[in-house]
Amino acid sequence: MQLQLKVWRQAGPRSQGQLKDYHLSGVSPDMSFLEALDFLNEQLTESGQEPVEFDHDCREGICGSCNLMINGQAHGPQQRTATCQLYMRHFQDGDTVVIEPWRAQAFPVVKDLVVDRSALDRIVVAGGFVSVKTGSAPEANSIPIAPSDAQTAFDYATCIGCGACVAACPNASASLFTAAKVSHLSLLPQGHPERQQRVLRMTEQMSAEGFGDCSNHGECQAVCPKGISIDAIATMRREYIKAML
């Protein structure tokens, strides 16, 4: 395969960035998107040019660090797929592919395609701890939990904090991320002691970080690699109102 790449290059947070054109030939359809970027960087290094900086770690769709905007879509055209799980077979020979970093005030560009997503970590830290006893695991049936609640809590807990919801939202809202973290604990007995202060602190921190408000566009749900539903946002709002009252 041959591809025309338009890659965002930016030397640092205070530098002015721009899209730069690259021609990439010899791309295998079985390559992952990150492997194709590795292939590009090998060619750039061999020709004495500076390689493209991009973030990644597990390459298994678990860590959420492979955050890229591909042709205007967070993580690319394949639904419920992180960038590291996206394969080049989803593109056609001769395609032009535009690769950019997440675009959000709360996600400043570090270099090229790498952004600082530590704002999401600070939201989690603001939520505090869960006051449950440590040690050996309790007996499975000692705390009855409805199967539907357990499954929904698990679905919300699968959030990998990649920030795709923020990048896709026209308001750059982190509501889906924050709601997933709030809601999965609110559904389980272990999360109830700190339930009220958790939702207040996390939503306050979300606002302080400069994220926008949710206006129910639903783009966050559409691009989430784990398919987390915006129902979580409704749950968070109910939790917030209860805590305020």
Q: Specify the CATH number of the domain 2-110.
A: 3.10.20.30
Under 8 Å between Cβ of 153 and 208? no
DSSP assigned state of 120 = H
Which residue ranges make up each domain of the chain? 2-110, 117-244
Under 8 Å between Cβ of 136 and 202? no
Q: Residue 156: which H helix or E strand, with range?
A: helix 147-157
**Total-model pTM:** 0.93
Under 8 Å between Cβ of 20 and 37? no
Structure tokens given for 190: 């272990």
The answer on pLDDT for 139 being more than 90 is no
**132: number of Cβ within 10 Å:** 12
Label residue 145 by pLDDT band (50, 70, 90): confident
Mean pLDDT of the region 56-63: 94
Mean pLDDT of the region 205-234: 96
Sequence-distant (≥ 6) Cβ neighbours of residue 188 within 8 angstroms: 145, 149, 150, 153
Distance CA 92, CA 52 (A): 23
Beta bridge partners of 2: 25
Structure tokens given for 164: 């795709």
pLDDT score for 134: 65
DSSP per-residue string spanning 201-221? HHHHHHHHTT-B------HHH
Label residue 39 by pLDDT band (50, 70, 90): very high
Mean pLDDT of the region 57-84: 96
Distance CA 173, CA 192 (A): 26
What CATH superfamily classification does 117-244 receive?
Alpha-helical ferredoxin (1.10.1060.10)
DSSP assigned state of 149 = H
